[in-house]
Amino acid sequence: MSGSEAGERITAPSNRSSILARTGGVLKRALMLELRVYESLWRFLARRPAIAPGAVGVGYHKPVLTVLWIFIVLSAVEIPIIDLIVHRWPPVRIAMLVLGVWGVTWMLGLLCAMLTRPHTVGLEGIRVRQGLELDVALGWDDIASVAITKHVDEPKSPRVADGVLAVRQQDETNLELVLERPTTVRLPGPAPRGGAHEVEVVRFWADDPRAVLDAARPFLVGEPAVRRD
């Protein structure tokens, strides 16, 4: 064996960097969600929803409002019950109290996010939102038509399939945006559910789809905003 051959070495690529990158991404997302919770609470208390000047905001919270309030109330009632059970063990009592208060605060923040981060229709286009994270901004140059049309999907259906992005509430959507061309949108979280996706249609739920339609009509040339019964 020659000296050059003896000096050759093949090493497997290390996964350490990819693991660190994924861990960093998870921690960054968790921090962002935590901050968004408190931002949403502040927006609600200050009555400052995330709506651009001149834009129209349309909510999407009604299908899940009752369920969310039930969880909030049950979680709040659970705090004194657990405290009564573990009051003899101060470290456990303090830990459970902190977790209980944090959980209720988080759910209240989620509710406030739904109330203060509605869908918007304005000069820059349509923003399709959901909860603490999702915010898909589409300019008027990207949108070919807006229609009221109801779709009911199977539970746990993928968010993006066959070029269609579906932002559902209780597995339903009632508005459909047909885009002028395949458009890349970025969704929260890692692939395949999150990340960049190329879509041609965006479907979403609005509590008042007629309000979205009426607000979009002046911006669409040739009155393509229609209602499909």
Whether the predicted pLDDT of 2 surpasses 90: no
In a domain, 193, yes or no: yes
**Closest Cα to residue 178, out of 114, 130, 134, 228?**
228
CB 79 within 8 A of CB 99: no
In a domain, 213, yes or no: yes
In a domain, 134, yes or no: yes
- Residue 224 has a pLDDT of 46
Q: What is the mean pLDDT of residues 41-48?
A: 97
Residue numbers of the domain that contains 147: 123-227
- Residue 202 has a pLDDT of 98
Mean of the per-residue pLDDT values of the chain = 90
Which distant-in-sequence residues (6+ apart) come within 8 Å of 177 by Cβ?
126, 128, 138, 143, 145, 146, 201, 202, 203, 204
Q: List the beta bridge partners of residue 120.
A: 57, 127
In a domain, 147, yes or no: yes
Per cent of the chain over pLDDT 70 is: 90
pLDDT digits (tens, 9 = 90+) for 49-93: 999 999 999 999 999 999 999 999 999 999 999 999 999 999 999
In the three-class reduction of DSSP (H, G, I as helix; E, B as strand; rest coil), residue 112 is classed as: helix
The number of distinct structural domains making up the chain is 1
In a domain, 114, yes or no: no
In a domain, 45, yes or no: no
In a domain, 59, yes or no: no
How many helices and strands in the chain, by DSSP H and E?
5, 10
- Residue 14 has a pLDDT of 56
In a domain, 199, yes or no: yes
Distance, in Å, from the CA atom of 136 to the CA atom of 202, rounded to the nearest integer, reads 10
